[in-house]
Structure 1
Amino acid sequence: MPSNKSVSNAPITQFINCRILRDHKIQREDLWVREGKILDPEKLFFDEKGFADVRIDCENRIIAPGFIDVQINGGYGVDFSLASGDISGGVALVAKKILEHGVTSFCPTLVTSPSSVYSQVLPQIEVQNGGLSGAGVIGVHLEGPFISEEKRGAHPPKFLRSFEAGVTDLLEIYGKLDNVAMVTLAPELANSGPVIQELVRRGITVSVGHSMADLSQAEEAVIQGASFITHLFNAMLPFHHRDPGIVGLLTSDKVPPGRRVFYGMIADGIHTHPAALRIAHRAHPTGLVLVTDAVPAMGLPAGRHTLGQQQIDIQGLHAYVAGTKTLCGSIATMNMCVRHFRQATGCSVEAALEAASLRPAESLGLDHRKGTLNFNTDADFVVLDDALTVQETYIAGQQVWKK
């Protein structure tokens, strides 16, 4: 019997009558939680002679790891790329609202902005755990301004930058990078190699995107340490059989052994044709990461809204740069994306749920803590019905939202 010191007196919750997603399979098993972590029941019985203090009947629903959104620009009228107003309050509002979509962690994303915006906004976004007040903030995703003018999409051209002096430019524009989780850049920009290496050295995921790169330039970026592709197919050269461009990374033989390239997909039924979703998923299923790329108008009625320095029009499920047909982000929610992805690709329920949980966690190097229901990981999870509609959201074992 271990000494009592190792035995916690904190209450134990047992979730019964559920099917849980573990080891890539949905299996009939109970889920045990204590002190915000997932417990190994075997150890509990044999080492501690422990039992559950609280039992929760899940009524045969599915329990999956909480969803993680690595690209979200705002929502409910909040624009992460605007320096005016209460920035931390805006992040908190979105964090609270996205609990109902099953999102337990996210990366507030800033689109290309003037340097004054980064210096005002970045210091006010705090990396923090989620809870009753909202989803956790993993770190910021900086999308631009080091991107291609030709593939800028909705990014305002006058604020685009190149790497004249490499890393110095980056620090000059962004300032400190302490709370940054991901940076999207165009790898064909001169001097991008040392920048990629420095970001990776600092533990930041580098994503290639908004780019005219050919396949060899994209492969070179991966060799330097890039490991993600921002919204595959959107804002990059279209696939061509003689030079597949960035899309070719999905089946490249130049990816170093033991490394994997992840890619974001906006599965909103608008940004990517279902056939393109199927091609990507079948070519490289374990790299697919669902992102919403949601804009501040998510959760708001149709009409004119903003995204960073741009005006945007919401028409139905489409978000356009005002007065054009250029798509700029989506108004989809993560639970919608999971369902659409499953329907469009015919993939398993497990694969659809993992594309919103395990894969994003892996892409950020967080899968030892998040994105799974493995023992000793954070007890962040969602309870879903068979139609994959979110019924409840839990963070650190505590119910933070219920339908």
Structure 2
Amino acid sequence: MSMVTRYTNCRVLRDDSLLDDDLWVADGHIINPKNYFWNSRKIPDRTFDCQGKIIVPGFIESQINGGFGVDFSSNVDSLKEGLASFRKEITQFGITGFCPTMITSPCEVYKKALPLLRKQRGNLVQGAAVLGAHVEGPFINKDKNGAHPTEFIQSQCLSSKDEIIDFFGSINNITIMTIAPELPKALEMIECLVKNNVICSIGHSTANIDEAEGGVNTGATFITHLFNAMQPFHHRDPGIVGILSSVKLNRKCYYGIIADGLHTHPAALRIAHRTNAPCAVLVTDAMAAMGLGDGSHCIGSQSVTVTGKKAVISGTETLAGSVATMNSCVENFMRNSGCTLVEAVNCATKHPAQLLKCVDLYGTLDFGTVADFVIIDTDVNVLATFIGGDCVYKSDNIVGFFD
């Protein structure tokens, strides 16, 4: 066993509780101290005093369009360099793994970009893990396009693996695909993708409750940014929102929710959480302007304007993604939904890991998982981020912790 590190004087999120405990790390993984100290009577090679702070799993982002000037849907010629820079920068917000998200684009753009968005493990040198692409479109409803360019939206889905591969070039690097379940051949496409290990999400849709349930029962296990780009809840037909409490589903369906203070009202956050807390997955839906401040920026082929915390399609009031950070969304969700810190953190860690079927590696601090973790305070300020046991980001506010 390589160097063993012990983090002490901290509260550790484990088994859905904050425990006064130590965290032990070796060989890039969380280890059980009983198998090291109590059995061998060896002391750790080094010990760090966390001064009463909180250790939680690294945040996992399943929908993020870009940030720091990088957009995953445009400037494909510089995407490799942009992704490399992004992976390092994003760790300052506690994210240790993410699904780079492409909005609706021409098929030739997918063929060029998707090979660059392949799954990659996180590490000290390269930063956060790439968990595969989230392809948000182009098989969505034009009436709920949001910031997606309508000229590239496809009015009919593809029903065979060969057709899908012909359109995208390959599906090997696609982890999630958002589809409007009411489109022609949508259910055939969902079934085909699921059989080929692609997670299907329903969204950007005018689906009624029956169509939404059909999408889930065919294989979809996610809802793209709940409440946004879908029919509003109605008591006679709740639409996709009704999935939260549907009794007709044959599988668990998670839902993404943007808790940035703009995309979803605090009352809606409370309704969603109190209706179906175990399936809540926090997403930022952040775009290229995240981390850059006010000004005009690009998302896909569209121009957006950022003022404060709000990003809109230039010349309109239509929200165009967000400029929120994951740690701020965790704090907003905790404060506005009334849930606990543990519940809010689970929505950015364990739940997305369960959705992405990687909870055996990421999303918890269980023994044997990858040592991706974040040290935070009670306001969810990120003090330090670790990937594979290595510190990849350290705030100026914790001078002395790891010197």
TM interval, short-chain normalised: over 0.9
Counterpart selection for 1:209 from 200, 203, 211: 203
Equivalent position of 1:162 in the other structure: 155
Q: Establish whether residue 11 from structure 1 lines up as the match of residue 3 from structure 2.
A: yes
Equivalent position of 1:239 in the other structure: 233
Cα RMSD (Å) of the superposition? Answer: 1.2
1:73–1:165 Cα change, 3 Å: closer
Q: Establish whether residue 367 from structure 1 lines up as the match of residue 373 from structure 2.
A: no
d(CA) in 1 for partners of 2:157, 2:372? 43
Query: Please, which moves more after superposition, 88-97 or 144-153?
Result: 88-97
Unaligned runs of 5+ in 2: 396-403
8 Å CA contact 2:159–2:192 kept in 1: the answer is no
1:193–1:73 Cα change, 3 Å: same
Query: Please, which moves more after superposition, 43-52 or 215-224?
Result: 43-52
Per-residue deviation at 1:47? Answer: 4.3
Q: Establish whether residue 104 from structure 1 lines up as the match of residue 104 from structure 2.
A: no
d(CA) in 2 for partners of 1:179, 1:334? 24
d(CA) in 2 for partners of 1:80, 1:298? 13
Q: Establish whether residue 138 from structure 1 lines up as the match of residue 138 from structure 2.
A: no
Counterpart selection for 1:94 from 86, 90, 97: 86
d(CA) in 2 for partners of 1:302, 1:401? 25
8 Å CA contact 1:76–1:300 kept in 2: the answer is yes
d(CA) in 1 for partners of 2:374, 2:38? 29
Counterpart selection for 2:173 from 176, 179, 186: 179
Secondary structure in 2 aligned to 1:88? Answer: helix
Query: What is the identity, as a one-letter code, of the residue corresponding to 1:67?
Result: F
Query: Please, which moves more after superposition, 189-198 or 145-154?
Result: 189-198
Q: Establish whether residue 225 from structure 1 lines up as the match of residue 219 from structure 2.
A: yes
Counterpart selection for 1:195 from 185, 189, 192: 189
Secondary structure in 2 aligned to 1:219? Answer: helix
Per-residue deviation at 1:173? Answer: 2.2
Query: Please, which moves more after superposition, 226-235 or 213-222?
Result: 213-222
d(CA) in 2 for partners of 1:347, 1:220? 31
Query: What is the identity, as a one-letter code, of the residue corresponding to 1:325?
Result: E
Superposed counterparts of 1:11-160, under 5 Å: 11-132=3-124, 133-160=126-153
Query: Please, which moves more after superposition, 287-296 or 87-96?
Result: 87-96
d(CA) in 1 for partners of 2:246, 2:238? 10
Query: What is the identity, as a one-letter code, of the residue corresponding to 2:262?
Result: I
Equivalent position of 1:323 in the other structure: 315
1:170–1:330 Cα change, 3 Å: same
Q: Deviations over 1:62-106 (max 9, x none)?
A: 000000011010111111101443211111111111100000000
Secondary structure in 2 aligned to 1:276? Answer: helix
d(CA) in 2 for partners of 1:32, 1:96? 24
Secondary structure in 2 aligned to 1:86? Answer: helix
8 Å CA contact 1:163–1:169 kept in 2: the answer is no
Q: Deviations over 1:342-385 (max 9, x none)?
A: 11111101011111111111111111110000010011000011
Equivalent position of 1:284 in the other structure: 276
Counterpart selection for 2:381 from 368, 376, 389: 389
Q: Deviations over 1:20-54 (max 9, x none)?
A: 00010001111111101110112223544443111
Q: Establish whether residue 354 from structure 1 lines up as the match of residue 346 from structure 2.
A: yes
Counterpart selection for 1:378 from 364, 370, 375: 370
Query: What is the identity, as a one-letter code, of the residue corresponding to 2:152?
Result: F
Counterpart selection for 1:398 from 383, 390, 395: 390
Q: How many residues align?
A: 393
d(CA) in 1 for partners of 2:223, 2:294? 30
d(CA) in 1 for partners of 2:228, 2:157? 26
Query: Please, which moves more after superposition, 162-171 or 352-361?
Result: 162-171
Secondary structure in 2 aligned to 1:69? Answer: strand
8 Å CA contact 2:207–2:239 kept in 1: the answer is yes
8 Å CA contact 1:163–1:170 kept in 2: the answer is no
Query: What is the identity, as a one-letter code, of the residue corresponding to 1:312?
Result: V
d(CA) in 2 for partners of 1:17, 1:315? 41
Secondary structure in 1 aligned to 2:327? Answer: helix
TM-score (norm 2): 0.95
Equivalent position of 1:4 in the other structure: none
Secondary structure in 1 aligned to 2:167? Answer: helix
Secondary structure in 2 aligned to 1:297? Answer: coil
Per-residue deviation at 1:164? Answer: 5.5
Secondary structure in 1 aligned to 2:188? Answer: helix
8 Å CA contact 1:295–1:330 kept in 2: the answer is yes
d(CA) in 1 for partners of 2:327, 2:52? 19
Point out 4+ residue stretches in structure 1 off by more than 3 angstroms: 45-50, 162-165
Q: Deviations over 1:212-237 (max 9, x none)?
A: 11111111111111000000000000
Per-residue deviation at 1:386? Answer: 1.8
